[in-house]
Structure 1
């Protein structure tokens, strides 16, 4: 089976918190650009347990300074961390890590 993660995006522009449940094979036609990829595969995507802890402790979610810079990073495979130049090449590469 494919593993999933439960996380939130690090952003201060959302007035509400929403949870993402996303398969780790990232096999989706909706994932089309570097910014979108990096929003799910870098520390920009905050673990839900961290968000819950912040809410319980501080009553708010604090986003790390510079979190938005993570969206500009080069494309990397989230499994082996190899740098891949394009989204289509990255999606093809990721298939090698997951057998269907």
Structure 2
């Protein structure tokens, strides 16, 4: 299973925290567009970028308008096809990850 090691770009928590997430996104916890877009857009910052910012500036800087990414249409993170619903998206993703 391929995993991604990233942080949210909108630091809305008092402490930075790390997410390790499989790229098949096969989870009952992933329930809505906001969840999906938080993990599959630039809202989810690569850990090396966060570490670099902390080492260089002592803080994490977020680009203005980043929260707008949560409102984007649902898209497959593999082929970028627009999918109308989370259930349809999860079913579509299975075609990219054979078990």
Structure 1 length-normalised TM: 0.97
Q: Which runs of 5+ in 1 are unaligned?
A: none
Figure out how many residues of one structure are paired with residues of the other and give that number: 99
Q: CA deviation at 1:66?
A: 0.4
Render the CA deviation track for 1:36-88: whole Å, top value 9, x for unaligned: 00000000000000000000000000011101000000000000000000000
Render the CA deviation track for 1:15-45: whole Å, top value 9, x for unaligned: 1100000000000000000000000000000
Q: How does 1:53-64 map to 2 (within 5 A)?
A: 53-64=52-63
Q: Which runs of 5+ in 2 are unaligned?
A: none
- Secondary structure of 1:27's counterpart equals coil
Q: CA deviation at 1:10?
A: 1.2
- Aligned-residue CA RMSD (Å): 0.5
